[in-house]
Amino acid sequence: MRHRAIRPEPLFFELNPRRVRRQGYVLPALDVPPVEPAEVLPSDLVRDPDPHVPDIGEMEVVQHFHRLSQLNYAVDEGLYP
């Protein structure tokens, strides 16, 4: 029998409150010349400010969404109310 999460799960943006720099994925080196998005996209499609995506490690992301999945109803949890 699975156990349901009993404490509220913090928002994704609250998982790294101290702003510790963590890298979840390393991109390979570019094999083409870099291009500024503002040079090739229309101005209404270019975002001005930084989106403030949190720096969270890959394992923390997996654990976060696993805990969220425990809040959903599942057939293994029991009968439908």
- Report pLDDT digits (tens) over 20-44: 666 667 789 999 999 988 899 998 9
pTM (global) more than 0.85:
no
Is pLDDT at 45 greater than 70 in this prediction?
Answer: yes
pLDDT band at 57 (very low <50, low <70, confident <90, very high): confident
- Cα–Cα distance between 52 and 50 in angstroms, integer? 5
DSSP sequence for the chain: -PPPP-SPPPPGGGS-TT-----S--PPPPSS----HHHHS-GGGS--S--------HHHHHHHHHHHHTTS--GGG----
pLDDT band at 7 (very low <50, low <70, confident <90, very high): confident
Q: pLDDT value at position 40?
A: 93
- Cα–Cα distance between 73 and 54 in angstroms, integer? 28
Q: pLDDT value at position 21?
A: 67
